[in-house]
Amino acid sequence: MAKPISIEVWNPSGKYRVVSTKSMPGTRWINLLTANDCRLEICTEKKTILSVDDILALIGDRCDGVIGQLTEEWGEVLFSALKRAGGTAFSNMAVGYNNVDVEAANRNAIAVGNTPGVLTETTAELAAALSVAAARRIVEADQFMRAGLYDGWLPHLFVGNLLKGQTVGVIGAGRIGSAYARMMIEGFKMNLIYYDLYQSTRLEKFVTAYGQFLKANGEQPVTWKRAATMEDVLREADVISLHPVLDKTTYHLINPERLAIMKKEAVLVNASRGPVIDEVALVEHLKANPMFRVGLDVFEDEPYMKPGLADMKNAVVVPHIASASKWTREGMATLAALNVLGKIKGYPVWGNPNMVEPFLKEDATPPAACPSIVNAKQLGLPSSKL
């Protein structure tokens, strides 16, 4: 018999059974579920990544909805089990949902929620931090200092790249990519080159207006360019940050051929999803080009790094923490809980998933809607008129 999974129970007499596969930050999401007649069961198992069998055990014979994590494989096995248990709702606590087989959810009539609108700035800030850390060799310098190796100022000590006046390249100029671009342009007065399947008119207008402002102040104006190909970005940019969704078109988007056309002293940042970069090829490139630097928040085989990456001084690596600000993580938990609660209650789907502020007001009752359901159309769910 399978080992029982340890859980913490809130509001044991609640009518609807909701499971969260992890404890999440804040208490508002718990209060919202329990105040709305949910019995909430939070998995307290020590292991970081739950297996499909663990989650099957959590779903059990009766379950109305599940809040899950991006480390879990949500496919036919889990969605059919949730359906058999009477469930209709699942929400990822993430904006990306490449761990979810949405077709399988559709087949089982399970709504799939995600949490956009609260990660944008936090994730962009981490990408900006990685850009600066890599360009200015901050982690290397920190390690040197702590090792007691500093014995006085030297002209060559940890010389890195100046960002001002250089070109920032953004691949995937959606919500996060655009926010990151603005930070680098406003913060460091970098010029922009971007590649996306769609034109980012708002971003272009912003750079034009900011350039005019700088010019009026007697400063060098910033410029923008929408590249016709991704290769143009890779060839021209000094700092390149990757922000596309992960799908078939972006898997190994950075491969040996594309690494080869980048500047030898370029900085490459990835806070999207690990498999967007061919990490084995990246390690080889880092070895061959010591002045090429990377800042990585995500990895191809998370939680592992490809052999050799950890030894590279020209790599800054952090453990998938791009959305890890208190405000964002509490907001993600609230949105994920409200996606599940809203579907259980039969609420419509919120009209604009990027405008989620009404759901986040601490002391106010949230709108009677699901904040963001990615397969609302396929399931024919009504849209909120609020």
Ligand X SMILES: NC(=O)c1ccc[n+]([C@@H]2O[C@H](COP(=O)([O-])OP(=O)(O)OC[C@H]3O[C@@H](n4cnc5c(N)ncnc54)[C@H](O)[C@@H]3O)[C@@H](O)[C@H]2O)c1
Does residue 320 interact with ligand X by CB under 6 A?
Answer: yes
Phi-psi region of 251 (alpha: psi -120 to 50; beta: other; left: phi over 0): beta
Q: Residues 99-138: x/- map of binding to ligand X (CB under 6 A)? A: -----------------x--x---x---------------
- Cβ closest to ligand X, residue 176 vs residue 181: 176
Does residue 322 interact with ligand X by CB under 6 A?
Answer: yes
Give min distance, CB of 276 to ligand X, in A.
Answer: 9
CB atoms within 10 A of CB 67: 27
How far is residue 105 from each of residues 87, 338, 371, 376, measured CA to CA in Å? Answer: 11, 18, 18, 11
- Cβ closest to ligand X, residue 39 vs residue 273: 273
Site for ligand X in 163-202 (CB under 6 A): 171-177, 195-198
> 28, 226, 293, 320: which is the annotated catalytic residue?
320
> 121, 125, 231, 302: which is the annotated catalytic residue?
302
Contacts of 308 (CB under 8 A, 6+ apart): 283, 287
Give min distance, CB of 126 to ligand X, in A.
Answer: 7
**Residue (of 306, 267, 284, 310) closest to 130 by Cα position:** 267
Does residue 244 interact with ligand X by CB under 6 A?
Answer: yes
Give the residue, chosen from 138, 141, 214, 245, that forms a contact with ligand X under the rule CB under 6 A. 245
> 17, 226, 258, 273: which is the annotated catalytic residue?
273
Residue at shortest CB range from ligand X: 174
Give min distance, CB of 180 to ligand X, in A.
Answer: 9
- Spatial separation of the C-alpha atoms in residues 106 and 291, rounded to whole Å: 48
Give min distance, CB of 94 to ligand X, in A.
Answer: 7
- Spatial separation of the C-alpha atoms in residues 119 and 272, rounded to whole Å: 12
Does residue 273 interact with ligand X by CB under 6 A?
Answer: yes
Tell me the one-letter amino acid at 67: I
E-strand stretches of 21-75:
38-43, 65-68
Does residue 272 interact with ligand X by CB under 6 A?
Answer: yes
Residue 10, classified by CB atoms within 10 Å of its CB into exposed (0-12), middle (13-18) or buried (19+), is middle
CA 315 from chain centre, in angstroms, equals 20
Q: Is 243 a catalytic residue?
A: no
Contacts of 116 (CB under 8 A, 6+ apart): 95, 175, 353, 354, 356, 372
Q: Is 285 a catalytic residue?
A: no
Q: Is 175 a catalytic residue?
A: no
- Positions touching ligand X (CB under 6 A) are 95-96, 116, 119, 123, 171-177, 195-198, 243-246, 249-250, 271-273, 297-298, 320, 322-323
Active site residues: 273, 302, 320
